[in-house]
Amino acid sequence: MAISALDSAIFADMFGTTAMRDAFGDDAFLARCVEVEAALARAQGKLGTIPAEAAAAITDAANSLASGREALDLARLKSETETVGYPILPLVRQMAELASDAGRYLHWGATTQDIMDTAAVLQIRAGLALIEEDLTAARGHLAELARKYRDTPMAGRTHLQHALPVTFGYKAAVWLYALDRHADRLRQLRPRVLLVQFGGAAGTLASLGGAERSLDIRAELARELALADPPITWHVVRDGITETVQVLALLVGSLGKIAYDVMLMSATEFGEAAEPFIQGRGSSSTMPQKRNPISCELILAASKVLRQQAGLALDAVVTDFERATGPWHVEWVAVPEAFGFAAGALHQARFMLGGLIVDPGRMAKNLAMTHGLIVAEAVMMGLAPHTGRNEAHDLVYDACRIAIETERPLLDVLLETPAVADPLGPDKLRALTDPANYLGAAPAMVDQMLARRN
């Protein structure tokens, strides 16, 4: 029975995705290990390290497992793994049996971590492709929201209070900027993480003879798997794997920020946005009127889980000597779970942003609820050339206090304040107290963000 939300019969498709489970599940891991063993045999067969016919037989054995003509004895594999502590020796034994006499050449010069690390890298490559697909879609949804609502004014809030007017398109473009940078990070980390691992017992490839011969094998193995060939063994240099988890944590952290904003905007008192409507989604068991922001809640939860996995992965960086005595094992937990929860968060974000319900009318109503106080800065800056900034600040501050205490529009109070009304006049004051006239460069910055995508 599953004890993880990612594998739960109930929660799996809320917190994760089928595609990512397929990339990081047990079957996928074993398949990638088999793939690496076969690729190593072919590389060594090409270079004459093992007989070419042995390499072909080992490849046939691997293909028979991949096609389903043969199957691993998983019960035996589990039992032997518990004894050995690692799954590669038990796997090699079963592959060797399928390859008959050629099996003696399987795993030639390799060590367990070579196979497991390279298999993990292949899984990461598949996982990154899935992440990038959903990230691209989510970014596309945000770009469309930014474009559509470029000039839709709403209250900008700092410390949860009205600050200055912004537009919803500007807000969406700010969200997009973070996700664009994460897309850059995902591209940039690939050369640092998509590396073959092949170093033998202590990383020196000593069992394969001279340097030229052993390094040629590693390079050929890299070509077989379409991975980069590193200049040195990275058994105890885990920054590439850890960077991947950190980038996923950053990405989902940014999704969490978006989700947090949307959750607040969907609160009854705001009512400015809502998740896509699906019959029954977000229902309460006791309050029929409720429509809870389910996707946002799941995204926010995932962001907190990824924070923990990021810290766990950092622990794996601190290793001892030429082979770690434990830190490596935490990657077996952190990496699959990081990809699993990141995929789930992106899936929820893609759904939520793709059908986000935006209410410009409610945004306008909220913007007007302080009767012009949100643009007090605009009046101050308009008055400053006539009185000086400090005097303008004090005059407008007093007017705001009176407007709040008497529950009157700021404009009315300003029109009754000679020190303000006389130099500016009523028409100028009406323009200055219209929030739609105080959006600054927000629409232009939306344009800059969208132009970067062309």
8 Å CB contact between 450 and 143: yes
Contacts of 122 (CB under 8 A, 6+ apart): 32, 35, 36, 225, 227
Structure tokens at 255: 């999704």
Q: At 166, is the secondary structure helix, strand, or coil?
A: strand
Alpha-carbon gap, residue 380 to 385, rounded angstroms = 9
Pairing of the two strands 273-274 and 153-158:
unpaired
Contacts of 426 (CB under 8 A, 6+ apart): 415
8 Å CB contact between 194 and 227: yes
Q: What are phi and psi of 355, to 5 degrees?
A: -130, 20
Residue 14 exposure: Cα atoms within 13 Å on the Cβ side = 15
The residues that are catalytic are 159, 284
Q: At 189, is the secondary structure helix, strand, or coil?
A: helix
Alpha-carbon gap, residue 413 to 404, rounded angstroms = 10
**Residue 174, number of CB atoms within 10 A of its CB:** 19
